[in-house]
Structure 1
Amino acid sequence: MNDLMVMNKTEDEEKQFIVFRINKEYFGMDIFDINSIIMMPEITKMPKAPEYMQGVINLRGHVVPIMSLRKRMNYGEENITKDSRIIIVNLENDELMGVIVDDVKEVMNIPTSEIVESSPFVKKEDSFISGVGKKDDELISIFEVEKLIA
């Protein structure tokens, strides 16, 4: 008889998220959507851009648009501190976009079984949030990057 056995995967799959803070709330982005995280550089303003678009930066020879998540989510004016960071996200067609966050906390593994859909009171089309992850006693709202630019 063959001594090999097929083992069923009983462990829950985990996804990795970069966890960051905006307005004292924690949010996460799938690590596969992220290109890099940088300190706050000088941002060149763009005329007639939406209020939440802060301008553009030169990142390694590429012009990258920068969005204020705080303004995009109607949390008020940007409050740039020494902890503020720009998360550079990968978009379609190898394009990049930067989003300003209050600070970056950590890379966190969250089991997929601990991620639930966002509130049934919010239309999925109107929300940037694809779900809410639970890790220990923390709730982390999970961003859907593609919805930020819609």
Structure 2
Amino acid sequence: MNDLFENSEGKLLTFLLGNQEYGIKILEAREVVGMMHIDPVPHTSDFMKGVINLRGKIIPVIDLRSKFKMPQAAPTNETCIIVVDFGNALTGIIVDFLIGVTRIEEVSFEETPQMSANIRAEFILGMAKLEDRVVIVLELKNVLSAKAMVSIPKNQPEIAL
């Protein structure tokens, strides 16, 4: 099917944005750090919050709420940054709440369903059906690609998950 089951053994790192649960392949996550000071970088997209200095490494940080055109929320004690390994470079993604590692069975996973035209389907690898909830599994390479990092004009919606 895909490397979610071949390489990651169906393991996801799951987190919340608002009330929706999302997941990324466990092998994409390098580490999780608490929210820290983010230095803004001028002339970048709204969702590019800036950079952090993590043990001497400068890491760009993306706000997934902004990226997905979700209403902003004030950071809480649960807000954290997941540092992901993307294309041999580290990138931080801000999430509201880290749930943890979740293992899904291949039979409970469905490829990206057809959705409304304003949803960027290439951002979604698929949906994982768990007992009482659905986890949206992100295709991180598409969410963080150079093409996806360009701001969409304000009159054109980018995503509405």
Which of the five TM-score ranges fits, normalised by the shorter chain?
Answer: 0.7 to 0.9
Question: Which structure: larger Rg?
Answer: 1
Q: Does residue 125 of structure 2 align to residue 143 of structure 1?
A: no
In 2: Cα distance, 1:126 partner to 1:103 partner: 23
Q: 37, 41, 45: which is aligned to 1:50? A: 45
1:102 corresponds to which residue? Answer: 96
Q: State the Cα RMSD in Å.
A: 1.8
Equivalent of residue 120 in structure 1, options 114, 129, 137: 114
Q: Which structure dedicates a bigger proportion of its chain to strand?
A: 1
Distance 2:70 2:53 in 1: 27
Q: How far does residue 69 in structure 1 lie from its aligned partner after superposition? A: 0.3
Which of structure 1's runs of 4+ aligned residues deviate more than 6 A? none
**The one of 24, 38, 41 aligned to 2:36:** 41
**Residue pair 1:79, 1:102 contacting (<8 A) in 2 also:** no
2:58 maps to: 63
SS in structure 1 of the partner of residue 27 of structure 2: helix
Runs of 5+ unmatched residues, structure 2: 146-161
Counterpart Cα distance in 1 of 2:16 and 2:74: 12
| 1:66-93 deviation line (CA, Å, top 9, x unaligned) | 000000000022421110010001011x
Cα distance in 1 between the residues matched to 2:37 and 2:115 = 39
Give the TM-score of the pair, scaled to structure 2: 0.80
Could you report, residue by residue, the CA deviation over 1:30-65 in whole angstroms, capped at 9, with x for unpaired residues? Answer: 100000000001000000110000000011211100
- Looking at structure 2, the residues matched to 77 and 108 of structure 1 have their Cα atoms a distance apart, in angstroms, of 26
The answer to whether residue 89 in structure 2 is matched with residue 91 in structure 1 is: no
The count of corresponding residues between Structure 1 and Structure 2 is 137
| Alpha-carbon distance in 1 for matches of 2:84, 2:33 | 11
Structure 1 unaligned segments of length 5 or more: list them. Answer: 1-11
Cα shift at 1:113: 1.4
